[in-house]
Structure 1
Amino acid sequence: MINIPATSSSLKIQRALGNDIRVVYSPLEAVNIAKKNPHKEIVFLGIGFETTAPTIALAIEKCYKGRIENFSVFSALKTMPEVIKMLINNKNVKIDGIICPGHVSTIIGEKSFSFISNKFHIPAVIAGFEDKDVKAAIYLLVDMIRENQFDIKNIYGSCVKYEGNKKAKELMQRVFQSSNSKWRGIGLIKSSGLKVSNKYSQYDAEMKFNIKMEDSPYLKGCICGDILRGEKTPVDCRFFGKECTPYNPIGVCMVSGEGACGIHYKYLNQG
């Protein structure tokens, strides 16, 4: 996050200018900073998906119970089911099968992705992240497509249960509520985000500091949205490998090493 370019700056630049911006490895670490600095407001940038949401919820609940008032969360949390529905419903994207996100599945469970096969009649596989896991998932998808089957198969059973992690889900449901959310490069997707619930609103940085979000102009010519939807590939972008590199990322797909453009750039010239 610290390297991601915003409309006019980035967290990295702002830190270099002297602002107190820190990288922490847990929201509970941010809570400890708040406890040690009671006269300073600590804002935690809450990012990620259902995998990171429970620990952020735990931090908020810990502050609520401990009456720590100088901590808040600016939530940019996203959830996966609605964006998958959006992609499936996109007539420009033909999806024959889906490998469901493994880490998200450990939290929300296999059941949360059953709509893929039940409603849309598309085969899906929940798999781990090792190369053999991905290969097995692809094999199963191809096999189901060939046999005209529309099942969801869980081959990550060591971590993913049908109902998911009930305690983590209950914690998320207590602290957060569903919200409409903007996805960079894609736009607004209904019910695809998480915001702090009314009970814990004193820990919602957006409300606490009356932050008004403005639509930022998207760089003309950047096709990250098309790439994220699978409509185009990184090499279709006129910025790719030229103005836009991992060292000077323009679009969101190049910022992260897990982004489509970042991966493509890394392996493009390898055999």
Structure 2
Amino acid sequence: MLTYLVGTKTAIGRHKRNIQDACHLTDGRRANRAFTDLIDAGLVVNSGEGIFDLTQNGITMAQKLEKDNATPQSVTNITNNIEKIDGNSTVSVVGVDILTTPPSYKHMVEASKPATGKLTSSRSRTHVAKEESDIERTLDQTPSSLPSFKEHPLRNGLPEVRSSKGVKQGRNTSIRYMLAIDTQKDALPIPVVSGDTLGRSKKATIMLRQDEFISNRHCRFEVLRDKATHRPTLFVEDLSSRNGTYVDDLEVLDGKMQLYHGSRLQVGNTVLIVVEIPY
């Protein structure tokens, strides 16, 4: 993180979200811990509005790291021994595991690729089919299909869209994002599709009625395809809710704010963790 900041010239590049993306800090708690450790160590200062800047000590440390690192892709653990005088006693505070530039996993991915896409002779399609035919059927009649995400207990159908003729019709889309409830670890993650509205109203497609601080129509989600990467990207928009919508402690004010894998979305007293399905 230090080496990234020292090479960043623009304020937007020093925004918390861009720092997390550059350093691959997808875990919100781990990212917050890293920022806290750097601030406590006197290496980084919070300049407000989500912007973080290096202190003079931080610049010196970053330059030293760049000089000491044999390769640019490395992880450096910095242990800062800071002594605090409290009366007649001395307390030692130790900071650990401050992440700099993340390692490259490209060579690991390349090594894991098979040499050919064909089955070997010992695992031919005929052999696999024979193995499957040897499996004993345990039911005389099986369900026609697996349950759909529409049957999730916190979902209320699909958002409606209008065709060119003005007729309402349901959406038919695959699930690329889910919302995990942070405060209740055993709760089912909630599938999200484009056009979903979250709120306490029965008209919302995602109903969180257990939180009295959530508005009837609190926020709306949109899944848009990124022009550069062509990947589906999730956005959230606040619907003039009473208590606001927050992404990683930043309030969603005008327009849409992008959600990333690991983003913390707060609505009312409920915190949801964004999970991207990688397929």
Query: Which TM-score band applies after superposition, normalised by the shorter structure?
Result: under 0.3
- Greater relative contact order: 1 or 2 (C-alpha under 8 angstroms, separation 6 or more)? 1
Q: TM-score, normalised by structure 1?
A: 0.21
More strand by share: 2
Give the TM-score normalised by structure 2: 0.20
